[in-house]
Amino acid sequence: MRAIVTCLALCACGGPEEHAPPTSVPTSEASLPNTIEETRVEVGGASIVTLVAGPPDAPALLLLHGARFSSETWRELGTLEHLASAGLRVVAVDLPGYGGSTSTELEAGKFLAQLVEALGLERPVVVAPSMSGAFAFPFVLDHGASCGGFVPVAPAAVARHEARLSEIRVPTLVMWGTADSVFPVAGAESLAAAIPDAGLLLFKGAPHPAYLDQPDLFHERLLAFVRSTR
């Protein structure tokens, strides 16, 4: 049975995707338990920026991003450090044409499938906020054997794939802010209901990038979800 959890706001609501992440702590400080390595990988003729942290043989988490963000968002939010220190292999990417990555002509789902292979990730859980839903939905639908779990965070491209959502067979946790002004929260329950056995996590009072508004809860629930898929 699908679980619905509503989390209390920990801080004041910000705006939609323009909301800025908190100030980062330099990753060179000795107190950090994990090193974040910046690398590039070639996929479909594109040079893709990745930030990588955590043990190579640990359960894998692949972090995508919204249109106004990049892999650096996850460094600045502390997601890479926090989840790597909890025992995950965490990879954040700049999607093609964003951040420091160049463009590719590959179809979005095929691009993610080739990226996962190039990075040597074994069935990662994919976190897909906003715009990156356009990459994640075709990947999960057409390359599900390469995906260990799916966390759409108020994703784009739902309508484009609506007719096939019932075909998703990977563990899924839908996340959404109740104060989302970009994609209203009414879409959260309908998305979770359309995906078999999907969970739904609502962040009370949070805007479109709910993970920026309530990062501690986001990290806690994401870590628990990844562990539940193993």
Q: What is the pLDDT of residues 80-121, one digit of tens each?
A: 999 999 999 999 999 999 999 999 999 999 999 999 999 999
- The SS3 of residue 199 is strand
Q: Give strand pairing partners of 4.
A: 200
Assign a CATH topology to domain 37-229. Answer: Rossmann fold (3.40.50)
pLDDT surpasses 80 at 200: yes
Question: 130 an active-site residue?
Answer: yes
d(CA 223, CA 104): 31
Looking at the predicted structure, is the pLDDT value of residue 148 above 70? yes
Which residue in this structure is represented by tokens 């980062």?
Answer: 24
Give the model's pLDDT for residue 17. Answer: 39
Where in the chain are the domains?
37-229
Half-sphere exposure of 163 (CA within 13 A, CB side): 1
Q: Residue 223 and residue 127: Cα distance in Å, rounded?
A: 12
The H or E element containing residue 186 is helix 186-194
Q: Alpha helices of the chain — where are they, by DSSP H?
A: 71-77, 79-85, 108-119, 133-142, 186-194, 210-213, 215-228
In the residue annotation, 142 being an active-site residue is answered as no
224 CB-contact burial (10 Å; exposed 0-12 / middle 13-18 / buried 19+):
exposed
Among residues 65, 82, 161, 208, the one annotated as catalytic is 208
pTM, rounded to two decimals? 0.86
> Which of the following is catalytic: 130, 132, 146, 161?
130
pLDDT band at 29 (very low <50, low <70, confident <90, very high): very low
Catalytic position from the list 71, 101, 132, 180: 180
